[in-house]
Structure 1
Amino acid sequence: MPLGQVHQVLQAAFGWEDAHLHRFVTSDPFAPLRPVDSAMPEAHQWLPGTKCEEPGDRPEEDCSLDQLLALGSGAAFYEYDFGDSWLHRLDLVSRRPADKDCPPALLIDGARRGPLEDSGGFPGYEDIMEALADPSHPDHGDHASWVAGITGSEEPFDPAYLHIPP
């Protein structure tokens, strides 16, 4: 699967709107770098071709998920929204032959719904969830209105709910 398609699959799985930059890397971008032979290794990242600006940037259009996984140690990372820094580890769990009658990706299981777009990363999302859970919280009303605008629903937001289509 081309990296651009992996990006679209992850956007759909998390309910995001592709409103921010993203990148793929072969190692955890937040892990400390260790020098190799007294030099810092060049970190490569795969971005949409139009966003490649640095020497280590590679166009995602030229790479597939299996190629990216082979470059790392069996895992790769996807980061979305560099301000919120939603970081996802991608691991190969199993392989199956492509079937033209089946979609290229299918959500089969999960624990919770994805965090809301533009919610401020882990700290911001936790603050929003805390305020929503407590009607007496001073920010409850503001956050409830913001969530309704993002989700398009006045229904109470349940972070544990995950809709898996049949």
Structure 2
Amino acid sequence: MGKAEDGVGLGQDAFLEIRVQLVDSDPEIWRQLEIRSTMTLDRVHQVLQAAFGWEDMHLHRFIALEPFVRLRPVDGEIPDDLQWLPKQDCCDPEDRPEEDLSLAQLFALGSGMAFYEYDFGDSWLHRLELVSRRSVDEGAPQARLIDGARRGPLEDSGGLPGYEEIMEALADPSHPDHDEYSAWVADMTGSTELFDPSFLDVAGVNGTLARLL
């Protein structure tokens, strides 16, 4: 984690620079973002959707600790893994409304690390890591994309294994599924232009964020 500047801490209003990586992506799909520390998780969800090109078609959640890792028993019992979801989706005892927690508070619970899962079927897991903090510049955008690599996967592509299979077929005209997947990608993107998984439109993402926030 980066060093805080001028004593700016998690308890103060600040801009947080965070690195968000799609877990297990190879080559890595990642984003470097700057987000206002007081932004609540429901709005951080919107930022991440825009940054990765998701279309908000599925459920999502935030987790302070890495999911799918077996927790150590406390007093003989496995503790609940707290998660933050939209208020209307909270139905289990460990569920908390994402509208009630800020990004800085989430990082404080996870010691500078947090996770965002989108689409519980495909399970797109994003690792959020706090890189640095800086004082607030009045008039600066609430969130902006600084850098990144590769476009986000397509919705409903079957998680990383499915997406990699689709990309392999697209890249090889002799692949038996090339035509089928080409038609599917064109339908999903609404374009017959060549799909380039390495392309990232930073200016386009920031334009979307400016309209959202």
When the two structures are superposed, what TM-score results if normalisation uses the length of structure 1? Answer: 0.95
Per-residue CA distance 1:73-115 (angstroms, 9 max, x = gap): 2211000000010101111112233344222111111111111
2:181 corresponds to 1:143: yes
The separation in 2 between residues aligned to 1:137 and 1:26, in whole angstroms, is 42
SS of aligned partner of 2:128? strand
Q: Which residue of 2 aligns with 1:131?
A: 169
Shift of 1:41: 1.1
Q: After the TM superposition, list the runs of 4 or more consecutive aligned residues in structure 1 that deviate by more than 3 angstroms.
A: 97-100
SS of aligned partner of 2:127? strand
2:57 corresponds to 1:19: yes
2:69 corresponds to 1:31: yes
Q: Which residue of 1 aligns with 2:196?
A: 158
The separation in 2 between residues aligned to 1:147 and 1:111, in whole angstroms, is 20
The separation in 1 between residues aligned to 2:201 and 2:121, in whole angstroms, is 27
* Structure 2: gaps of 5 or more residues: 1-38, 205-213
Comparing 2-11 with 31-40, greater Cα deviation is found at 31-40
Percent of pairs with identical residues: 69
Q: How many residues align?
A: 166
Map 1:27-66 → 2, pairs under 5 A: 27-66=65-104
Selected match of 2:120 from 72, 82, 99:
82
The separation in 2 between residues aligned to 1:50 and 1:71, in whole angstroms, is 23
> Could you tell me whether the CA contact under 8 Å between 1:98 and 1:104 is conserved in 2?
no
Comparing 50-59 with 148-157, greater Cα deviation is found at 148-157
When the two structures are superposed, what TM-score results if normalisation uses the length of structure 2? Answer: 0.75
User: Relative CO higher for 1 or 2, CA cutoff 8 Å, sep ≥ 6?
Assistant: 2
The letter for the 1-side match of 2:145 is L
> Could you tell me whether the CA contact under 8 Å between 1:78 and 1:88 is conserved in 2?
yes
Comparing 31-40 with 7-16, greater Cα deviation is found at 31-40
RMSD value, Cα: 1.3
